Amino acid sequence: MKKLFILLFVLLIISCSIESNENKIGIVIHGGAGTILKENMTAELENSYMIKLEEAVTKGYDILKNGGSSKDAVEQAIRVMEDSPLFNAGVGAVLTNDERVSLDASFMDGENLNAGAIAGSSYVKNPISAAIAVMEKSPHVLLSSKGADDFAIEMGIDTVPNSYFITERRLNSLRRLKDKNVSYKDPFIKDSKFGTVGSVAIDIKGNISAGTSTGGTTNKIWGRIGDVPIIGAGNYANNECCGISATGWGEHFIRNVVAYDIAAQIIYKNENIVDASKKSLDKVKATGGDGGVIGLDKNGNVAMEFNTAGMYRAHIDNEGNITIKIYKD
């Protein structure tokens, strides 16, 4: 009898320690921030966004729920949005001044601070997967243009003709700008919805991953690269604190090192993730930019902050509660 009690006690201790190794899972995604106003949206389009956001966030969450890694959750959630023409990433990305698509993406693994990114790709169907491949299969962090495409082909990653990415909607947006004689020197298109996509997830082991993918800004020229593939600007993950993915006027996110600035506030000042995000976005505003961020901290607390009219966003917490929003409230 005494032996049985000892055995039960030992089993209890083991199960408690297994329990304490389990972290709160969670995933958050964005589909870009910008001038997204209800009055400019049809019910049908709004519905399409809601459905796609739900599909993407649920795909990632299901991976986490089944014990999968935050890396896989982030990659798969982002691929859903890259494969949808609704967002400025993969098919449906915005066009460059010479009517092409040029794609940037990055990924960071918060467990070991490994990171990978591509910039200025013309042919990679799912840039987030190429960014992960740079991290896992090359000694580098950032590959650009032809080199990024050549690397992807060598790694057996799906490539497509550049025309695959081009949609009529984006072609019209570009041509409207050109008709209005908006110069490529004009810093940014005021009425553009940015539409970049991103995701941050935390898995059962407490590993945080962050990924971001974009076509950049409409009418871009001279091989312009934004914040998305710049680790610490448009993307950052560190298990010590949090994961962050950004969207917005990339030049200002680079200048304010936004994703890392949020992480640094949490690490060095013990700031909470929501206030840290707000403060970093205030800095973006102070230099003349705008946009938004999503993030999760190591305890699964979420931030979905922006200083634009709206941001496509969705979150599923540890209990499986889902939030999907587009406008301010």
Binding site for ligand ASP (CB under 6 A): 32, 88, 194-196, 214, 216-217, 226-228, 234, 247-248, 250
Dihedral-angle region of residue 208 (phi above 0 means left; psi in -120 to 50 means alpha; beta otherwise): beta
Q: Catalytic site residue 218? A: no
Burial of 156 (0-12, 13-18, 19+ CB in 10 A): exposed
Please pick, among 58, 96, 159, 196, the residue that the annotation labels catalytic: 196
Query: Which of 135/311 has CB closer to ligand ASP?
Result: 311
Q: In angstroms, how far is CA 313 from the centroid of its own chain?
A: 10
Query: Which of 204/263 has CB closer to ligand ASP?
Result: 263
Query: Which of 218/265 has CB closer to ligand ASP?
Result: 218
Q: How far is the CB of 193 from ligand ASP (least distance, A)?
A: 8
Query: Which of 102/238 has CB closer to ligand ASP?
Result: 102
Q: How far is the CB of 308 from ligand ASP (least distance, A)?
A: 10
Q: How far is the CB of 165 from ligand ASP (least distance, A)?
A: 15
Crossing angle, helix 127-137 and helix 145-154, to 10 degrees? 80
Residue 103 in contact with residue 148, Cβ under 8 Å?
A: no
Q: How far is the CB of 88 from ligand ASP (least distance, A)?
A: 5
**Residues annotated as part of the active site:** 196
